[in-house]
Amino acid sequence: MTDTAADRRMLEALVCPVTHAVLTWDPERRELISKAAHLAFPVRDGIPVMLVSEARKLD
């Protein structure tokens, strides 16, 4: 994801598939973070992968 207005609007529309909580963007790791579910969802080629099976568990 790049930092464009369209990308920011898309990020605001996405929620965690587990908790439906708001996600935050981690630009260094290129992940969407669900603090509520303690999961990090990858963004590959600009496309968020919102599958729990693809998410990284956060400590």
Report the CATH number at residue 27: 2.20.25.10
- Mean pLDDT, the chain, integer: 89
Alpha carbon distance 3, 6 (integer Å): 8
Q: What share of the chain in percent tops pLDDT 70?
A: 88
The string of pLDDT tens digits covering residues 1-23 is 555 666 767 777 899 999 999 99
Alpha carbon distance 14, 20 (integer Å): 9
Count of domains forming the chain: 1
- Within 10 Å of residue 32's Cβ, how many Cβ atoms? 23
Q: Report pLDDT for 20.
A: 96
**Residue range(s) defining the domain that contains residue 26:** 5-57
Alpha carbon distance 40, 49 (integer Å): 10
Q: Report pLDDT for 12.
A: 75
Tokens of 20: 């439906």
What pTM was estimated for this model as a whole?
Answer: 0.83
